[in-house]
């Protein structure tokens, strides 16, 4: 990974300055708003190598399907423009199957099953709303339960002759308690022949959700995998084929080019060779450094928090103490205005804290984050 980060850092820094962009430090994590992640060198090389060549796209898609299957254990896989695209196409697959006329007619769902069940606590937004992402197919979202609780009978009785599928969201943004588990959702839905789609955009485990019974799982290709901007659909052969066929309809505007497909294939293959333990060790060094720097401060308190969805990583939660003249929002803004700017995970500053995520640091940036923390806090 050292060669990867060195290469990415050199290219990114040069182009950012050339374009007049700020050379930010990403201490926020795999956030799309900051470009998601550092692309692995294998993906960069594959994209560059195929960019000037002509290929039979159907054959390339087949190779991608094999790479997705190998990495996830799925029967088949499909690459599309983004994880949001993957959700839309996965849902569309359950509406139309492989019926070409139905695919061409979407979002007209006349005569089709068109209800999509989602626990109310899973109705998240991620720059756009999950409901709109689903509704683009012509489907109608049917909420299950309340924002604070979902029960098995509520899901069971929401299933009707019009139910096309259920969507289960794995995200730190969902309600993290009193929701039905994936195993429960699969058991209830499968008893009535309803397929289950899992939105696992930012998840590290490429196999667990299919193993739990999901029919389709969608992942981001450009977050933990370190591939290009893309979405991955993995699951049953029939549903993956139906998702891919959506490129003849609403999926046409979500199609992905040969460069991105080749980049995702390379990223999936590199994932199997990655030294995950070494990466965790480097991340822990950064976290320990930041904790040490903050320790003398009377303004903030730091503690390590595990990822809420079970990804194998920790973050540093920086809580601004009530006695401080700072607020979490002001401190986050001060770090973002520094030179170089440090972008933190700041969506919960109204609760008095923000997080520092070390998973997307280039060599030497942990020390720069520590310096900016110390400067802001005058340590």
State pLDDT tens for residues 133-191.
Answer: 999 999 999 999 999 999 999 999 999 999 999 999 998 888 888 999 999 999 999 99
Which residue, 273, 303, 327, sits at the end of a domain?
Answer: 273
Gap between the Cα atoms of 65 and 42, Å rounded: 18
User: How high does pLDDT run on average in the chain?
Assistant: 92
Which residue, of 242, 273, 304, is where some domain finishes?
273
Dist CA 352 CA 346 (whole Å): 10
Mean pLDDT score, 270-285? 91
Of the pLDDT bands very low, low, confident and very high (cuts 50, 70, 90), residue 1 is: very low
Q: What is the pTM of this model?
A: 0.89
Q: What is the pLDDT of residues 74-91, one digit of tens each?
A: 999 999 999 999 999 999
What per-residue confidence (pLDDT) applies to 379? 65
Given 224, 241, 273, which residue is the final one in a domain?
Answer: 273
Q: Which long-range contacts (CB under 8 A, 24 or more apart) does 299-303 make?
A: 299/323, 299/324, 299/325, 299/326, 299/377, 300/324, 300/326, 300/331, 300/377
Confidence of residue 14 (pLDDT cuts 50, 70, 90): confident
**pLDDT for 31-77, tens place per residue?**
878 878 889 999 999 999 999 999 999 999 999 999 999 999 999 99
Domain membership of residue 36 (yes or no) is: no
Q: What is the pLDDT of residue 194?
A: 98
Do residues 65 and 190 both lie within one domain?
yes
Answer yes or no: are the C-beta atoms of 120 and 150 closer than 8 Å.
yes
Per-residue model confidence (pLDDT) at position 8: 45
Distance set, CA 149 to CA 114, 143, 200, 217 (Å): 24, 12, 21, 24
CATH (domain of 311): 3.90.1150.180
Domain limits at 189? Answer: 41-273
Please count the structural domains in the chain: 2
Residue 232 in 3-state DSSP? Answer: strand
Q: Is residue 347 part of a domain?
A: yes
Residue 42 contacts residue 205 (beta carbons within 8 Å)? no
Co-location of 225 and 136 in the same domain: yes
**What residues have CB less than 8 Å from 52, skipping those under 6 apart?**
none
């Amino acid at each position: 990974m050292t060669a990867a980060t060195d290469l990415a850092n050199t290219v990114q820094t040069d182009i950012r300055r050339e374009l007049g962009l700020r050379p930010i430090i990403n201490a926020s994590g795999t956030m799309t708003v900051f470009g998601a992640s550092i692309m692995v060198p294998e993906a960069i090389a594959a994209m560059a190598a195929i960019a000037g060549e002509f290929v039979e796209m159907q054959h390339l898609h087949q190779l991608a399907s094999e790479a997705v299957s190998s990495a996830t254990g799925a029967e088949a896989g499909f690459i599309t423009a983004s994880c949001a695209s993957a959700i839309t196409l996965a849902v569309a697959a359950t509406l139309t199957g492989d019926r070409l006329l139905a695919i061409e007619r979407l979002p007209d769902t006349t005569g089709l099953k068109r209800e999509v069940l989602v626990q109310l606590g899973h109705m998240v937004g991620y720059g756009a709303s999950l409901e709109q992402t689903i509704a683009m197919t012509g489907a109608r979202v049917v909420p299950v339960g309340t924002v604070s609780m979902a029960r098995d009978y509520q899901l069971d009785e929401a299933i009707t002759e019009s139910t096309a599928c259920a969507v289960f969201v794995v995200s730190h943004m969902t309600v993290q308690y009193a929701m039905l588990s994936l195993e429960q959702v699969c058991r209830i839905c499968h008893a009535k022949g309803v397929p289950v789609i899992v939105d696992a955009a930012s998840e590290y485990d490429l196999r667990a959700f299919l193993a739990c019974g999901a029919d389709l799982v969608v992942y981001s290709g450009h977050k933990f995998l370190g591939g290009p901007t893309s979405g991955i659909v993995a699951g049953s052969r029939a549903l993956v084929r139906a998702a891919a066929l959506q490129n003849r309809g609403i999926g046409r505007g979500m199609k992905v080019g040969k460069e991105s497909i080749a980049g995702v294939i390379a990223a999936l293959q590199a994932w199997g060779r990655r030294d995950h333990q070494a990466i965790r060790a480097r991340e822990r060094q950064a976290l320990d450094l930041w904790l040490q720097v903050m320790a003398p401060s009377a303004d903030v308190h730091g503690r390590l928090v595990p990822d809420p969805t079970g990804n194998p990583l920790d973050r540093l939660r920086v809580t601004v103490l009530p006695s401080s003249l700072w607020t979490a929002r002001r401190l986050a803004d001060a770090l973002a205005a520094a030179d170089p700017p440090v972008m933190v995970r700041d969506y919960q500053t109204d609760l008095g804290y923000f997080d520092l995520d070390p998973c997307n640091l280039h060599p030497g940036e942990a020390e720069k984050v520590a310096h900016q923390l110390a400067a802001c806090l005058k340590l």
